[in-house]
Chains A and B, each alone.
Chain A
Amino acid sequence: MDFINNSILLAGVEIGTHYYWKVGEFELHGQVFIVSWFVISLLLVASLLGANDPKRIPASWQNFMESVVEFTKEIAVNQIGAKSYRTWLPFVSTMFLFIFGSNWAGAIIPWKLIVLPEGELAAPTNDINTTVAFALLTSGMYFYAGFRKKGLGYFKRYIQPTPILLPINILEDFTKPLSLSFRLFGNVLADELTISVLVLLVPLFIPLPIMALGIFAGSVQALIFSTLAAAYIHEALE
């Protein structure tokens, strides 16, 4: 592990070491916040630049941002349906863009150049707390969607098609966030681990295809997370 951490530029994965911030009696994982803020400001600047002077015929940056929004819109429309996707579009695209931004920020930017007293900067999604927060937000969102559409009648879903399935239906509400968070966390961490193990074996060139795979997997995971979030919302609306 020491060797990986000593090599320049390449991030060595330090599991279990964090850059702690003490706020009151809580300990925060500072490295997650720093990179999250970075990603948030990047997304903010990108969308502000795209929307500050909207033209009827979009040019350059506005054009790009519009195609990005179209892409996320397609995710929502495909899952939720053209009739009621609009209400849930902001959530789905925020999820997609933020996870995509975090995964790529972790994969592309050489954070190793910035040295922290403890721990290291990496994708915010390689911390399980981040992904659990995303997953719980998704849970909250589909419950909200269900209640908004059907009120307390939403609970009827639990005894359909037969009351025998009640325990399984209840269990599903717990397994959904669990699998969502583990999937994202595991994939991002697995990419970083594979790269650092390969770097340990062969420090030059060989890890490059795996890094490309990591970039690809990062975008696919963002797509999957937002698709699933949209699918769960659709399920609650049905």
Chain B
Amino acid sequence: MDTIIAAASVIGAGLSVGLAAIGPGIGQGTAAGQAVEGIARQPEVENQIRGTLLLSLAFMEALTIYGLVVALALLFANPFAG
């Protein structure tokens, strides 16, 4: 692999995961905070809230995972490696 392409790919891979983690991180924090608030207010629906929370957390996690897939493609299946 060309060294420039290799270097750019590694930097790009790192950035893609790092940047993709910011948004979902904030989102998950907000969601978890609201869920805690909800449980504190109505402890009797804790199970339902937990289920919904886990499901939505996984959806947000998926966004970071897309970044990870891009990073993996850059590192292991780089289309520009030639």
State whether A189 touches B55 (Cβ < 8 A).
no
Of B1-9, B22-30, B36-44, B68-76, the one touching chain A: B68-76
Q: How far is the CA of A217 from the CA of B64 in the complex (A)?
A: 14
Interface of A is mostly: helix
- Distance in angstroms from A135 CB to nearest chain B CB is 13
- Residue of B59, B69, B77 near A224 (CB, 8 A) is B59
Residues of B within 8 A of A183 (CB): 62, 65-66
Q: Which residue of B lies closest to A186 (CB)?
A: B65
- Distance in angstroms from A196 CB to nearest chain B CB is 13
- Distance in angstroms from A118 CB to nearest chain B CB is 16
Interface size class of B (residues with CB under 8 A): 10 to 19
State whether A187 touches B61 (Cβ < 8 A).
yes
- Distance in angstroms from A182 CB to nearest chain B CB is 5
Interface of B is mostly: helix
Residues of B within 8 A of A182 (CB): 62, 65-66, 69
State whether A220 touches B66 (Cβ < 8 A).
no
State whether B62 touches A186 (Cβ < 8 A).
yes
State whether A185 touches B76 (Cβ < 8 A).
no
Residues of B within 8 A of A185 (CB): 69
State whether B65 touches A223 (Cβ < 8 A).
no
Instruction: Tell me if B54 counts as interface (CB < 8 A to partner A).
Output: yes
Instruction: Tell me if A41 counts as interface (CB < 8 A to partner B).
Output: no
Residues of A whose CB lies within 8 Å of any CB of B are 15-16, 179, 182-183, 185-187, 189-190, 193, 217, 220-221, 223-224, 227
Other A-B contacts than A15-B76, A220-B54, A224-B58, 12 sampled, CB-CB below 8 A, are: A179-B62, A182-B65, A182-B66, A185-B69, A186-B66, A187-B61, A187-B62, A187-B65, A193-B72, A224-B55, A224-B59, A227-B55
